[in-house]
Amino acid sequence: MDETEALTPPVEDELNHSMIEDESALFSQLAPKDEGELVDELGESEEAAERMHLIRYDPLRHYLLEISKYEPLSQDEEQRLARLLRDHQDRDAARRLVTSNLKLVVKVAFIYNKVYANLMDLIQEGNLGLLQAVKKFDPDRGTRLSTYATWWIKAYIIKFILDNFRIVRVGTTNDRRKILMNLRKEKRKLEAQGITPSPHLIAQALDVSEEDVIAVEKSIESSDFSLDQRVSEDSGSSYLDRLRSTEELIDEKLAAGELKEYIDGKLTEFSKGLSEKDRIILQRRLLADEPQTLQAIADQYGVTREAIRVSEKRLVEKIKSYMRGALQDIGDVRFNFSE
């Protein structure tokens, strides 16, 4: 399932659709049909001309003026264009389906303008959602494109807000975004029933893990701070100074961790081509923190201890040969298997 599809359903209850009921009224206030109307309003004075110049190049007003010329499609025309796009990948049909719903994007963006001030950013993200909706729209399901597209537009806008609301992201997964958008509502619902809203109860209500609820609550309660901030009022050092002193050590640990993960992956690939006995020797002898004895493995397969030792030695040579090829671009890597 697409990440944005999983995000949309719980959001609907949080929206206040009464904020913008009349789309035509919205555009009549913000986007005059032509610039001549603005000239009439402002007059012919030099001051009016200067004001007209500023208004003319206001990005939001200019955008609204541009999209106001696109008229909505009838249902029959919408169905016809949608089938052209689906069956023949008609680009002109796609363009008309998109442009006829640009006003819808603005309408939805205004709903979220209270929590994110830059309306043009919201419109831009909403337009990406609209493009996705047009791409996935099925005209044979009997649903209008505007109804279907609204979910995609909201999803893209909400994801953008969550990703950019703070320096440190809070809603990094679908479950955490779901918690973030519904946490307060669930708390109020439980409190109204006289129940203390614990993380366990909230997790049950939202069908998410208790750990995610706790993590989101901690993130909301915490705040961002600057690395240039002093450690204390009487201290001459900043948090950034402390980070610098450990930067090299951290880089070394990260590099070692990434290399170990890469080698583990290669060993997993290598083990797929081994016999059962060789896999047992690899896992229980060569890679184990507490290796089994040669005799224990020999007893399992009904062979001598020496036979297992020979198999192990042969397996070590195979591993070295395989890993030399897998790690040929990485220097200073040595393999040491204890006898």
Q: Can you give the residue ranges of every domain in the chain? A: 3-31+68-164, 174-221, 239-326
pLDDT at 197 over 50: yes
Fold of 3-31+68-164: RNA Polymerase Primary Sigma Factor (1.10.601)
* pLDDT greater than 80 at residue 204: yes
Whether residue 94 has pLDDT greater than 60: yes
Angstrom distance (rounded) from CA 64 to CA 264: 56
> Which residues pair with residue 238 across a beta bridge?
230
**DSSP assigned state of 236:** S
Neighbours of 158 (CB within 10 A): 25
Q: Give the whole-angstrom CA distance, residue 102 versus residue 100.
A: 6
Mean pLDDT of 27-39: 45
Split at pLDDT 50, 70, 90, the class of 20 is: very low
In CATH, the number for domain 239-326 is: 1.10.10.10
* pLDDT on residue 107: 93
Q: What percent of the chain has pLDDT over 70?
A: 65
**Nearest by Cα to 226 from 171, 163, 161, 167:** 167
Q: What are residue 230's DSSP bridge partners?
A: 238
- Give the burial class of 83: count Cβ atoms within 10 A of its Cβ; 0-12 exposed, 13-18 middle, 19 or more buried: middle
Tell me the pLDDT tens digit for each residue of 258-272: 667 777 787 888 888
d(C-alpha 24, C-alpha 59), whole Å: 20
Q: How far apart are CA 163 and CA 2, in angstroms?
A: 17
Mean pLDDT of 223-241: 62
Distances (CA, A) of 307 to 159, 192, 277: 60, 72, 11
